[in-house]
Amino acid sequence: MTGKATMQALARLVPPGSRVLDLGCGDGAMLDYLQRERGCSGYGVEIADANVLACVQRGVDVMQLNLDEGLAMFGDNSFDVVLQIDTLQHLRNAETMLRETARVGRTGVVAFPNFAHWPNRLSVLRGRMPVTRRLPYQWYDTPNIRVGTYKDFEVLATKNSLRILDSFGLQDGQETRWLPNARAGTAVFHFERA
């Protein structure tokens, strides 16, 4: 997920000066933005060599770890905010990592492709898996091993005793609060342990 408007919408959920853990941080752009614009500190976690190098080149502290192996190296409430931006749908143990996010951080922010967005629904009605700007891969070569919807996450949060502090959709960098399950390509949730 890229774009300044998208970063600003997500950054709004991170209090200035927060200690942040960015899981699946990619090239470190979000953490770099939070450090520059919100005075945050913290670490990125990434597995891909090229992304780890990009983080280092940006000056973002990064650890190379496989998130499917968990976050045992971090204590409870080690961070003010834990981010999972476009990460959850890639994980084999998504529910476990969600609980770990809530354990390690005082709050968590999750953003993922919303499979219930109306263009996706239309594709499925036509008998095809969606290929959109937000889901740009064919079904046979996608890195996403899970698909979920805005409403699915609400159910998962309740099941795992998470209190949703804020939630909205993002479409073309703009917040969507009215019918986000149908009108937004990205679902965004800010939560804490209940």
pLDDT tens profile 35-50 = 999 999 999 999 999 9
pTM: 0.92
* Residues lower than pLDDT 70 in the chain: 1-2, 145
The amino acid that residue 1 corresponds to is M
Coil, helix or strand for 119? helix
Residues in CB range of 180: below 8 A, 6 or more apart: 114, 150, 167, 168, 169, 187
Per-residue pLDDT, 1: 54
Closest C-alpha to 91, from 44, 137, 147? 147
pLDDT tens profile 12-34 = 999 999 999 999 999 999 999 99
Closest C-alpha to 104, from 56, 150, 43, 155? 43
Tell me, what DSSP letter sits at residue 138? -
Q: In angstroms, rounded to a whole number, what is the distance separating the alpha carbons of residues 68 and 149?
A: 21
Per-residue pLDDT, 5: 86
Closest C-alpha to 83, from 135, 45, 114, 55? 45
The architecture of the domain spanning 2-191 is 3-Layer(aba) Sandwich (3.40)
Per-residue pLDDT, 125: 85
Per-residue pLDDT, 60: 96
